[in-house]
Amino acid sequence: MDGVWDRPTLEALLRQQFTAMGLLRAKGYAAIAGKSLPLTVQAVGPRFETWYQAVSDNRGGLTMVLIGLAVDPSPLRAALADLRLPS
């Protein structure tokens, strides 16, 4: 998804959405306003971690892989679109 996000707002949204989705695993990265490195996101069950790290295939925006038993990413996409900051 193209765009940039505010870190605290994005982290709160991802925590809430990941819990609601019942995800087993999530990993990805997001462009954060004012930061040159992407925010890496990792979740395993209830554990949620983020940090800034260079990635070799950084295309900007947000890239996320979600693993679960019945993952419907539509609510997450809609919420992320609403939180996107103007670039």
pLDDT in tens, 7-66: 999 999 999 999 998 899 999 999 999 999 999 999 999 899 999 998 877 778 999 999
pTM: 0.88
pLDDT in tens, 66-78: 999 888 999 999 9
What are the C-alpha distances in Å from 49 to residues 15, 18, 74?
Answer: 10, 12, 23
Phi-psi region of 22 (alpha: psi -120 to 50; beta: other; left: phi over 0): left
- Which of these, 26, 47, 29, lies nearest to 39 by C-alpha position? 29
pLDDT in tens, 5-20: 999 999 999 999 999 9
What residues contact 61, with CB distance under 8 A and at least 6 apart?
Answer: 1, 2, 3, 4, 30, 31
Cα–Cα distance, 20 to 6 (Å, whole number): 21
Cα–Cα distance, 6 to 40 (Å, whole number): 14
